[in-house]
Amino acid sequence: THGNGPQVGELALERAAATFDVLGAESMGQIGYVLAQAMQSAGCTAVPILTQVVVDQFSEAFKDPTKFVGPIYGSVEAQALQQSLGWTIKPDGEYYRRVVPSPPPEEILQIDAVRCLLENAPDVLPIACGGGGVPVCRVPANPNTLQGVEAVIDKDACGAKLAIELEADGFIILTDGGGIWENFGKPEAREMEAATPEYLKGTKAGQKFPGSMGPKVTALIDFVEGSKKKGVWAAVGDLKDAAKIVTGEEGTFIKEDVPEGVKWRAGKTGPPRKESKDPPPF
Q: What is the pLDDT of residue 58?
A: 95
Q: What is the pLDDT of residue 132?
A: 96
Distance CA 232, CA 254 (A): 9
Q: What is the pLDDT of residue 211?
A: 67
Q: What is the pLDDT of residue 128?
A: 98
Q: What is the pLDDT of residue 109?
A: 98
Q: What is the pLDDT of residue 37?
A: 98
What is the pTM (predicted TM-score) of this model? 0.88
Q: What is the pLDDT of residue 281?
A: 41
CB atoms within 10 A of CB 227: 21
Which stretches of the chain score pLDDT less than 70? 211, 268-282
Q: What is the pLDDT of residue 184?
A: 81
Distance CA 235, CA 242 (A): 10
Provide the Cα torsion 157, 160, 161, 167; round to 10°.
Answer: 180
CB crowding 69-108: b at 16 or more within 10 Å, else e: bbebbebeebbebbeeeebebbbbbebbbbbbbbbbbeeb
